[in-house]
Amino acid sequence: MPQVRTDRLPNGLTTVLIEVPSSHQVLLSLLVRAGSRFDPPGQAGLSHFVEHALFRGNASHPDTQAVFESFERVGEILGAQTGVEYTEFFQVVHPDLLSEALAGLSGFARTPIFPEIEKEKRIILDEILYDYNDRGQLVRLDAIMAELLWGGHPIAQSVTGTRETVAEFGRDDVQSHYAAHYRPANAVLSMAGRLEAGAAQDLVSRTFGGWGESDRGDGAAPGLDGQGAPRAVRGPKLRTVPDSDNQLRIQLSFPTSGYRSADEIALGMLAGILDDGPNSRLQRTLREERALVYYIGCSYTAYADAGQVDISTTVSPDRVEELLEALFEQLQIVREGGVGGEELEAAKRRYRFDLDFSRDSLDAALDRYAWPLLYTDVRTEEAEWAAVSELCASRLSALAAELFARERLHMAVVGPLDSRLEAMIARMVERY
The pLDDT assigned to 267 comes to 97
In the predicted structure, residue 217 carries a pLDDT above the cut 60: no
Mean pLDDT of 43-72: 97
Q: Is the pLDDT assigned to residue 213 strictly greater than 60?
A: no
Question: What is the spatial order of strands in the sheet that 79-82 belongs to?
Answer: 3-8, 14-19, 187-193, 26-32, 87-93, 79-82
At residue 220, the pLDDT reads 57
Q: Is the pLDDT of residue 171 over 70?
A: yes
What DSSP state is assigned to residue 283?
I
14: pLDDT strictly greater than 60: yes
Task: Tell me how far apart the alpha carbons of residues 122 and 194 are, in angstroms, rounded to a whole number.
Answer: 40
CA gyration radius, the chain: 23
Give yes or no for a cis peptide into 255 (omega within 30° of 0).
Answer: no
Q: Are residues 370 and 396 in the same domain?
A: yes
Q: 187 and 280: one domain?
A: no
Q: Does some domain include residue 229? A: no
In a domain, 231, yes or no: no
Is 80 contained in some domain?
A: yes
Report the alpha-carbon distance of residue 418 to residue 64 in Å, rounded. 47
Give 366: exposed, middle or buried? Use CB within 10 Å, 0-12, 13-18, 19+.
Answer: buried
| 114 conformational bin, left if phi > 0, alpha if psi -120 to 50, beta if neither | left
For the CA atoms of 181, 183, 188, 193, the dihedral, rounded to the nearest 10 degrees, stands at 120
- As a whole number, the mean pLDDT across the chain is 94
Where is the domain boundary, 220, 248, 272? 220
pTM for the predicted model, two decimal places: 0.94
Query: Which helix (H) or strand (E) is 119 found in, with range?
Result: helix 117-128
Q: Could you tell me which residue, 95 or 278, shows the higher pLDDT?
A: 95
- The H helix count followed by the E strand count for the chain is 17, 11
Asked if 182 and 58 touch (Cβ cutoff 8 Å), the reply is no
251 and 335 within one domain: yes
Residues 288 and 215 in one domain: no
Q: Are residues 212 and 250 in the same domain?
A: no
The torsion angles phi and psi of 244, rounded to 5 degrees, stand at -75, 115
Residue 139 belongs to a domain? yes
Domain contains 62:
yes
Give tens-digit pLDDT for 122-137: 999 999 999 999 999 9
Convert the pLDDT of each residue in 376-423 to its tens digit: 999 999 999 999 999 999 999 999 999 999 999 999 999 999 999 999
Task: Tell me, yes or no, whether 174 and 264 share the same domain.
Answer: no
The domain total for the chain is 2
The answer on 194 and 74 residing in a single domain is yes
User: pLDDT over 90 for what percent of the chain?
Assistant: 93
Smallest CA-to-CA distance from 99 within 215, 210, 195 is with 195
Q: Does residue 230 belong to any structural domain of this protein?
A: no
CA triplet 276, 277, 280: central angle to 5 degrees? Answer: 70
pLDDT above 50 for 218 = no
What's the pLDDT score for residue 221?
Answer: 63
In a domain, 285, yes or no: yes
- CB atoms inside a 10 Å sphere around CB 21: 10
For the domain that residue 55 is a member of, what is the CATH number? Answer: 3.30.830.10
- Percent with pLDDT over 70 in the chain: 97
Greatest CA separation for the chain: 67
pLDDT at 1 over 80: no
Sheet holding 307-315, edge to edge: 237-242, 410-415, 248-256, 307-315, 296-302
Domain match, 277 and 169 both: no
Residue 33 pLDDT > 80 = yes
In a domain, 166, yes or no: yes
Given a cut of 50, whether residue 199 has pLDDT beyond it is yes
CA distance 245 to 413: 12
Same domain for 272 and 208:
no
Over range 33-60, report the average pLDDT: 97
Residues 131 and 264 reside in one and the same domain: no
Residue-range definition of the domain harbouring residue 167: 3-220
**pLDDT of 139-170, one tens digit each?**
999 999 999 999 889 999 999 999 999 999 99
DSSP assignments along 141-173, one per residue: HHHHHHHHHHTTSGGGS-SS--HHHHHT--HHH
Residues 318 and 414 in one domain: yes
Residues 104 and 248 in one domain: no
